[in-house]
């Protein structure tokens, strides 16, 4: 399985440009807690995921479905459970 690397956190100026804001506004929002930022020395860095959140572009989340039966002879029950879970997950993701 290939591990995805998250982009490096952005400087305030770069983040402000992406958000269409002034850097002073971004710094003020960091102080107010509206934007989550990391401290790197004296500078604040904003993670790419935080920029995506503010822009309304959230990454797709992973859904893990888990079905269980108590015995091997209940495989048919397990299959029907898993199909019900898949149907539910598709409905939840579509709207």
Is 80 among the catalytic positions? no
* Structure token pair of residue 81: 């459970």
Q: What is the pLDDT along the chain (95 residues), one digit of tens a residue?
A: 555 677 889 999 999 999 999 999 999 999 999 999 999 899 999 999 899 888 887 656 667 788 888 988 998 999 999 999 999 888 877 76
Contacts of 92 (CB under 8 A, 6+ apart): 63
d(CA 48, CA 43): 16
The first and second tokens of residue 32, run together, are 């107010």
Active-site residue, selected from the candidate residues 61, 70, 80, 94: 70
Kindly report the pTM of this predicted structure: 0.55
């Amino acid at each position: 399985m290939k591990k995805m690397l998250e982009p490096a956190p952005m400087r305030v100026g770069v983040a402000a440009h992406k958000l269409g804001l002034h850097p002073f506004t971004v710094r003020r929002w960091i102080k107010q807690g509206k934007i989550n930022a990391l401290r790197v020395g004296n500078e604040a860095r904003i993670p790419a995921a935080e920029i995506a959140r503010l822009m309304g572009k959230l990454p797709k989340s992973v859904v893990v479905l888990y079905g269980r039966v108590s015995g091997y002879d209940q495989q048919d029950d397990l299959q029907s459970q898993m199909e019900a879970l898949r149907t539910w997950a598709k409905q939840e993701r579509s709207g």
